[in-house]
A and B are shown apart, each in its own frame.
Chain A
Amino acid sequence: MTSSHLKSNSLRTGPDLSGHFGPYGGRFVAETLMPLMIELEKAYETAKTDPEFHAELKLHLRDYVGRPSPLWHAKHLSETIGGAQIYLKREDLNHTGSHKLNNVMGQILLARRMGKTRIVAETGAGQHGVATATVCALFGLKCVIYMGATDVERQKPNVFRMHLLGAEVKAVTSGAGTLKDAMNEAMRDWVAHVEDTYFLVGTVAGPHPYPAMVRDFQSVIGTEARQQIQEQTGRLPDGIIAAIGGGSNAMGIFHPFLDDAEVALYGVEAAGLGLESGKLAASISRGRPGVLHGNRTYLLQDQHGQIEEAHSISAGLDYPGIGPEHSWLNDIGRVNYVSATDKEALDAFQILTHKEGIIPALESAHAVAYAQKLAPKMSKDQILIVNISGRGDKDVPTVAAHLGVKL
């Protein structure tokens, strides 16, 4: 969470009081939601300074989520790729199999403090939905998950897991039936049930305070990685790579390093079928600033400001926007936003699986794919950390289909 001893020119102090990161972020929601946003912001500000809240969160992260997650020196992968030494931050080892649980745990403890009894959430690949359903089961809260009908179809195991956990999964058929449409429906539900419902946003996007709050809860990844790499190698890394959809795992690992100018940061967007194909999810590379889902940020949109459908082999990355802090970090040049295609991610998925015995989520495979491009340009004594944001069990059917294997 945000430290109180930051330098005045720190890149870690954002957003400003009105929720903006430079020109991005803010709070663009219907008036019905404004009182709730203000209430949420106050509740979070209070919780942030309450040692009891931190103690409760710390306990749950350690004993339920399974933190700290290891930092693994992937020697075989490093040898195979050549160049820099690659270390993997193992968020795939968290309970429920991804980084999503860090944020869900934080927000659910907040929702309980606020006296909310019903949780709504949106999910793309299902990882955030599963994490939310899990914690709702743990605390006995009613849970409704909105998921695009297309995603319900292609992520059946996760849908079944959510059902087992007692959540109601609502398939959204509007639009293309993907994450963007699920986000709209979850917001509609929240507007209609403002009294008892908490909207548990799964990424560093949405109206203020969500981008900052989700980042704070995910920053545990970078805080641990910073300490672990120094313990293992005696210094900071030369570079950090993380995949970006909305961008929460990336924001989580980047944030504690933002003021370390010597650490290069790489956010990998999904280039889908290629940056020129029109079938992609790379909002920074191929989008432009606009307003959607409560914040100003880079968006995939047509010339008239209508939002376009995103595409990626990874259901978790195909969102047409990105967190507003990423938009700002792009504009000021602190983070390098690059991309990897579906095909590159598939190759990386197989290499990591073969060489390290770690099956990554297709999201994380995008980060590994960029490591394959970057590491060979670096020397053997340089260090790269790649965030393995989730495990790939959920993606095995997708990968099999692309490899022409019938399960």
Chain B
Amino acid sequence: MSRISACFAALKAQGRGALIPYLEAFDPDYETSKKLLAEMAQNGGDIIEIGVPFSDPAADGPTIQLAAKRALKAGATLSRILDMVADFRRNNDNTPLILMGYLNPIEQFGTERFLEEAAKAGVDGLIIVDLPFEEAKDVRASAKSKGLDLIHLTTPNTPEDRLELTLKEASGFIYYVSITGITGTNSATEEQLRQSMGRLRKVTNLPVITGFGIATPEQARSASHISDGAVVASALIKEMAGTLEDGKATSKTIPTVIQSLKKLAEAVRS
């Protein structure tokens, strides 16, 4: 069983959804980001999403865009991010890790080589924001053969026929982008989420997690109850960015993020 399947099975037994914190790899530097990853896994992060910085993250809001800029300045590259994952795996073999990024850095690294090395390093799933179903055929097949899930995104404006078409080959889980907008802007209401889940459950048996616009413990709780998990990204990055001095990590950086994460974890468990 893959780490992702095992994780959702365990959560089901506990009767709750997943809390999925996000960090931008190398933001604000390699060491801080590596520690944050380890601490997130120990303090309530059920699955962790690692952002792969790109110079032109067109689907992300200003918070993640700035995080990517800091990370690139700190020397983030795909191979060093995979080193970070491999390092994490030495002490943790359970927490699923999802890399989220854009296609171009992967293609320049060499898609095949990347999939192989990502699987070897201990990555479980990939979200490639600008790779829609129609262009993903080869990548999906190759990822699958290496035991990686290519996570599919769906949105409130995805029509029924498209849902059926795109989700039939999905694996791992479905990432529901709960708003038509960029990361870290507005939020969906509980009623909207319930309706969307109804739509999605008809076409897939995979777990569905909700992302974009989840900032508070209350929002995380309701999203993780209505769907199978909640991603919290911009809110945590904002907290982290608030502790930086001249763009550099301080003694407050990790404790501040972890404190917020604990509150979120408490909420999804309540």
| Chain A contacts to B: CB under 8 angstroms | 18, 26-32, 34-36, 38, 174-175, 180, 183-184, 187-188, 191-192, 194, 290-294, 299, 301, 303-307
Contacts and interface: CB of A to CB of B under 8 A. Distances in A.
B267 to A, nearest CB: 27
A108 B267 CA distance: 49
Contacts of A191: 59, 180-182
B130 A188 contact: no
28 contacts: A26-B135, A27-B135, A28-B131, A30-B59, A31-B154, A31-B177, A32-B59, A32-B177, A32-B180, A32-B181, A38-B162, A175-B56, A188-B61, A188-B182, A191-B181, A192-B185, A194-B157, A290-B108, A291-B103, A291-B104, A291-B107, A293-B56, A293-B58, A304-B77, A305-B105, A306-B54, A306-B105, A307-B104
- Tell me whether chain A's interface is mostly helix, strand or loop, or mixed: mixed
A35 B78 contact: no
A30 B130 contact: yes
B107 A28 contact: no
Contacts, number: 105
Contact of B157 (A18, A35, A291, A307): A35
Contacts of B191: none
Interface in B173-201: 177, 180-182, 185
B72 interface: yes
Interface residues of B, number: 40
A86 to B, nearest CB: 39
Interface string B134-163: 110000000000000000111101110010
Interface of B: 54-59, 61-62, 65, 72, 77-78, 102-109, 129-135, 152-155, 157-159, 162, 177, 180-182, 185
A184 B133 CA distance: 22
B129 A30 contact: yes
Contacts of B177: 30-32
A292 B162 contact: no
A304 B105 contact: yes
Nearest to B109: A305
A27 B132 CA distance: 8
Nearest to A194: B180
Contacts of A307: 55-56, 104
Nearest to A192: B181
Nearest to B59: A30
Given A28-B130, A188-B58, A188-B59, 18 more contacts: A27-B132, A27-B134, A29-B132, A30-B129, A30-B130, A30-B153, A31-B155, A31-B158, A31-B177, A32-B181, A35-B157, A174-B65, A187-B59, A188-B182, A290-B108, A293-B58, A299-B104, A304-B108
Contacts of B129: 30
A192 B59 CA distance: 10
B56 A180 contact: yes
B180 A292 contact: no
A32 to B, nearest CB: 4
A318 to B, nearest CB: 15
A28 B132 contact: yes
A29 to B, nearest CB: 6
B182 A294 contact: no
B163 to A, nearest CB: 11
A174 B154 CA distance: 27
Contact of A28 (B54, B55, B103): B103
